[in-house]
Amino acid sequence: MMKKRFKVIQQNNKLSVSFFLLIILSIIHSYAQQTLSSDIWVNIQKNIQRLVYEEDTDGDKKITIDDHFTGNTRGDKKFWIIGENNLRYEIIGTYYLSNLLQELKLCQDNGYKVAKLNQERIFENHVHRISRCIREIYWDELSRRIDEESIIPLFSDKKTITIDGFQYIYVPYKDNVAHEYFLEISRQHPELKIRVIRLPEIVTPEWVQSRNGYHGLLTLALLRTPNGGLRGVPFVVPGGRFNEMYGWDSYFETLGLLEDGRVDLAKAMVDNFVYEITYYGKILNANRSYYLTRSQPPFITSMALAVYEHLPKNKMSKKWLVNTFQAAIQEYRNVWMGKNRLTEIGLSRYFGEGIGPPIEVEPGHFDAVYTPYAKKFGMNIVDFEEAFKNGKITVPELDTLFVHDRSMRESGHDKTYRWDDRCADFATIDLNSLLYKIEVDIARTIETLFSDSLMQKDGKIERSSTWYKAAKKRKELINQYLWDPVHGLFFDYDLVNKRRKVYISATVFYPLWAGLASREQAESIVRTAIPVLEMPGGIAASTKESRGDLSENRPARQWDYPYGWAPHQILAWQGLLNYGFDEIAYRLIYRWLYTITRNATDYNGTIPEKFDVVKRSHAVFAEYGNIGTEFNYITKEGFGWMNASYQVGLNLLPPNLLIKLEKLIPPEWLWQ
């Protein structure tokens, strides 16, 4: 039986209203509700124009709860679709009207002037619709490749604009195939004004600084096609202005892809990271030339093992895993245990190498920092910034400041008051938890899958005992320096002041995710952190007390209270489940999924980068605003790790709570 959703009326102005007619119409109406086809033919453009005029009262090209009644019928949340044969179908309610707008827009974008609308899509359950859109639309819309077929859309990004008007593609020194391939593209497409630059054999911070004004894309992996051509290995971008492959985003996106059966795309993400380690020396913050000296939180072994679980267990997949772990070991030793990131206490830190300010920030971002120095040199801010960025003016204090700023960006937590703007001075609990997990992953994988012997490309044999020993040593150091028995939590260690920094953030859950906490420590973390970090919408990035008071001179930062982020939620969920705190994990999952669902329901399908978890709102204005909230008519991307958190969370949520979520029952009704 078809769902009885639409009200149907056959218009005929020539007939007078009579008792007989009312009876006939009643019969027709009753019959239509039971036999109405789900396919409704409508004029797309006319219905979009009418719908937007009548219900989008604030003019943002979306239908949301912020569109208020303005008189007559405008904004009354009731709309009549006009279909074929002048049939009219009534739809009532913000959510259903926003679905209608999205479905009409999809038809229009596909080139249809007249098309069939499916009532099942318009009245689709909130949860089912969000999950289906992620699975069927958003992953594909966020997928990219770097090759001839895909290069034009990548060049539409404003971050590829240079001072000489050319589009720059940077190729690794040792990748001759990629160099010739992109040179040929530049010759075949002179209209694109492409310049292909081979990187120097050794990339230095000085060289990266010398490219200011001429930065561009870094190539990723290429594969041979059956006809002998080359095709870029695909990857997923976060969305919005983040139009490249990012370091830690990719791990969480991979988890979402695997939930949705996109194993090949998830595997391709790992392949691109192996390429980055092989040719650039590290997994990059993202694949743009100004990121060559900076990495991001390391998840490669967790990422590879998650993909391997979904691959057929044969020689080919095992060889793939061997190749991936060889790269992981290379990055671990050269980057995270290298001279810039390994500290004197034996634990590691984030350290964003480079010279000058980070290039990726929005214009004006550092104006307040530059102002006193510009005055000192008798220059305006713009001229001072340009001179400083290009090394024409030396200011040691600014050099130090930007070392810490780039280190904070390497951590992925940009920005936060957690380190008092001295990120490079701290051995952090999040990074060292991740490295402990890598050590354990390598040890267990060598022991169980590689017969306790993994040969590196240089012929060196890796044994599980080496890596178990490294993990044991790191765990001892973490407990010595980062565990605070008074507060019962892990904190970052201030290497300069020789003490732990008491700052309660969501990173307290990383040791649970990595499995390095003892049972007693896990219980203490849950007992202490959950009451102060759990908010109506999920886990907050920090406590309000730790963040401190805000003012005009100390504005809000996006990786602090009251904001919540998808990676923190996923890591906290899994960490709690690892130690048997299932009920707490399910409660947190429900809070987060409810927040996503409620916002998408009320705001035309919005899936943002982050939330204010205190207010359960996507209305976030700290620093960079909120990616994923600005679109017209329909979002076709969502946001990478937010999409992933939804799919992962739905898979973890018990059936009884999933039923509650489908009914949009607020968490406070379930947990008092």
CA-closest candidate to residue 253, choices 642, 592, 644, 627: 644
Of the candidate ranges 21-35, 159-173, 316-330, the one whose mean pLDDT is the lowest:
21-35
Q: Of 260, 462, 609, 612, which one is the catalytic site residue?
A: 609
Q: Of 288, 315, 342, at which residue does a domain stop?
A: 315
On whether both 86 and 231 belong to a single domain, the answer is no
Contact by Cβ (8 Å): 271, 287: no
Q: Is 334 exposed, middle or buried (0-12, 13-18, 19+ CB in 10 A)?
A: middle
Beta bridge partners of 499: 494
Domain count, the chain: 2
User: What confidence tens digit (pLDDT) does each residue in 351-399 have?
Assistant: 999 998 998 888 888 988 999 999 999 999 999 988 888 888 889 999 9
Active site residue 609: yes
- Confidence band, pLDDT 50/70/90 cuts, at residue 22: very low
Tokens of 207: 């060289």
User: What confidence tens digit (pLDDT) does each residue in 323-360 have?
Assistant: 999 999 999 999 999 999 999 999 999 999 999 899 88
Is 621 part of a structural domain of the chain? no
On whether both 85 and 163 belong to a single domain, the answer is no
Residue with tokens 């790191």, as numbered in its chain = 474
User: What confidence tens digit (pLDDT) does each residue in 471-504 have?
Assistant: 999 999 999 999 999 999 999 999 999 999 999 9
On whether both 221 and 275 belong to a single domain, the answer is yes
Query: Angle at Cα 420 formed by Cα 415 and Cα 421, nearest 5°?
Result: 55
333: left (phi over 0), alpha (psi -120 to 50) or beta: alpha
Is 256 part of a structural domain of the chain? yes
Query: How, if at all, do strands 461-462 and 454-455 pair?
Result: antiparallel
On whether both 158 and 265 belong to a single domain, the answer is yes
On whether both 48 and 105 belong to a single domain, the answer is yes
Higher pLDDT, 33 or 130: 130
Is 47 part of a structural domain of the chain? yes
Is 75 part of a structural domain of the chain? yes
CA-closest candidate to residue 346, choices 478, 464, 440: 478
Report pLDDT for 496.
Answer: 98
pTM of the model: 0.93
User: What confidence tens digit (pLDDT) does each residue in 70-100 have?
Assistant: 888 899 999 999 988 888 899 999 999 999 9
On whether both 120 and 150 belong to a single domain, the answer is no
Q: Is 195 exposed, middle or buried (0-12, 13-18, 19+ CB in 10 A)?
A: middle
On whether both 167 and 112 belong to a single domain, the answer is no
Active site residue 353: no
CA-closest candidate to residue 356, choices 411, 399, 392, 387: 399
User: What confidence tens digit (pLDDT) does each residue in 584-637 have?
Assistant: 999 999 999 999 999 999 999 999 999 999 999 999 988 888 999 999 999 999
Q: Which helix (H) or strand (E) covers residue 499, if one does?
A: strand 499-501
Is 471 part of a structural domain of the chain? no
Residue with tokens 């054999």, as numbered in its chain = 201
How many CB atoms lie under 10 A from the CB of residue 77? 19
CA-closest candidate to residue 608, choices 653, 577, 574, 563: 563
On whether both 14 and 101 belong to a single domain, the answer is yes
User: What confidence tens digit (pLDDT) does each residue in 241-253 have?
Assistant: 899 999 999 999 9
- Burial code of 536-575, b = ≥16 C-beta within 10 A, e = fewer? bbbbbbbbbebbeeeeeeeebbbbbbbbbbbbbbbbbbbb
On whether both 194 and 301 belong to a single domain, the answer is yes
On whether both 164 and 120 belong to a single domain, the answer is no
- Confidence band, pLDDT 50/70/90 cuts, at residue 38: low
Contact by Cβ (8 Å): 217, 160: yes
In three-state secondary structure terms, 314 is: coil
Render 385-396 in DSSP notation, one character per residue: HHHHHTTSS--H
Residue with tokens 């034009």, as numbered in its chain = 152
Q: At what angle are helices 247-259 and 640-652 packed, to 10 degrees? A: 40
- Confidence band, pLDDT 50/70/90 cuts, at residue 17: very low
What's the first-to-final CA gap in the chain, in angstroms? 39
Contact by Cβ (8 Å): 494, 425: yes
Report pLDDT for 7.
Answer: 45
Give the domain extent around 25. Answer: 7-124
**In the predicted model, is pLDDT for residue 33 greater than 80?**
no
Is 50 part of a structural domain of the chain? yes
Report pLDDT for 2.
Answer: 35
Strand ranges of the sheet holding 499-501, from the earlier edge strand across to the other edge: 426-427, 492-494, 499-501
- In the predicted model, what is the mean pLDDT of the chain? 92
Is 232 part of a structural domain of the chain? yes
User: What confidence tens digit (pLDDT) does each residue in 417-444 have?
Assistant: 999 999 999 999 999 999 999 999 999 9
In three-state secondary structure terms, 306 is: helix
In three-state secondary structure terms, 138 is: helix
- 264 phi and psi angles, rounded to 5 deg: -60, -40
User: What confidence tens digit (pLDDT) does each residue in 223-246 have?
Assistant: 999 999 999 999 999 999 899 999
Q: Of 253, 271, 276, 414, which one is the catalytic site residue?
A: 414
Is 650 part of a structural domain of the chain? no
Report pLDDT for 457.
Answer: 87
Query: How, if at all, do strands 167-171 and 194-198 pair?
Result: parallel
User: What confidence tens digit (pLDDT) does each residue in 270-297 have?
Assistant: 999 999 999 999 999 999 999 999 999 9
Q: Of 315, 330, 359, at which residue does a domain stop?
A: 315
On whether both 88 and 170 belong to a single domain, the answer is no
- Burial code of 291-324, b = ≥16 C-beta within 10 A, e = fewer? bbbbbbbbbbbbbbbbbbeebeeeeeeeebbbbb
User: What confidence tens digit (pLDDT) does each residue in 622-654 have?
Assistant: 888 899 999 999 999 999 999 999 999 999 999
On whether both 164 and 48 belong to a single domain, the answer is no
Q: Of 267, 295, 315, at which residue does a domain stop?
A: 315
